[in-house]
Structure 1
Amino acid sequence: MAWRGRLSRNLKELRFLYCQTSPASTQTREFVHRNYKDLKTLNPKLPILIRECSGVEPQLWARYDMGVERYVRLDGLTEAQINKKLEELVQAGEALKA
């Protein structure tokens, strides 16, 4: 998972949006709880924002250079699938720089 250390090279900001109580957001909440410290340790200057809002569907947003943003819906995904979606967003950032 060396790509986790490249987050700050390819992203300007990472945002997790989810509901505090909804069953649809359970896996996203657990992913953030288990992985935030590691992501922040590897990328100390990267803003990693956590936005909790009642009733919102779980989403992961990535902001790149020039204000370009992409997001993925996380509803119904497992922790491994969320990790894969995050990796895909990092790879998209590498492609934007090319």
Structure 2
Amino acid sequence: MALRFGSALKELRIHLCQTGAASKGVREFVEKHYVNLKSNNPKLPILIRECSGVEPKLWARFDKGKEKCVTLKDLSAEDVLKHIDSVSKGH
């Protein structure tokens, strides 16, 4: 799935735990899909933030500072990609 985002999306932040079971799919997403996602959106900041014990979440920032947050707890790598696609369109 090759995602390209519109200009309304200003930043993506992904929070995850390096070892927690709830973040397993997010870690797999980073390994499998991050490079392609960044290649398709070279000017979009895509931030990966790791912190021990944190609940995995996706934050999307849009025009005028509007933000949307979605939990990524216990999702597969493909589900994480689907959530990113959905959030990027649903501001």
After TM superposition, the score normalised by the length of structure 1 is 0.86
Query: Once the two structures are aligned, what percentage of the paired residues are identical?
Result: 51
Task: Identify the residue that residue 36 of structure 1 maps to in structure 2.
Answer: 34
Task: Identify the residue that residue 70 of structure 2 maps to in structure 1.
Answer: 72
Whole-Å separation in 1 of the counterparts to 2:60 and 2:88: 8
Number of aligned residue pairs: 91
For the 8 Å contact 1:12–1:46, the answer to whether it is kept is yes
For the 8 Å contact 1:61–1:69, the answer to whether it is kept is yes
Structure 2 residue matching 1:39: 3-state secondary structure: helix
- Bigger fraction of residues in helix: 1
| Aligned CA-pair RMSD | 1.3
Whole-Å separation in 1 of the counterparts to 2:47 and 2:12: 6
Q: Deviations over 1:61-86 (max 9, x none)?
A: 10000000001101111122212111
Q: Runs ≥4 in structure 1, deviation > 4 angstroms?
A: none
Task: Identify the residue that residue 22 of structure 1 maps to in structure 2.
Answer: 20
- Bigger fraction of residues in strand: 2
After TM superposition, the score normalised by the length of structure 2 is 0.92
Whole-Å separation in 1 of the counterparts to 2:56 and 2:88: 19
- Measured after TM superposition, the shift of residue 8 of structure 1 is 4.8
Give 1:26's aligned amino acid: K
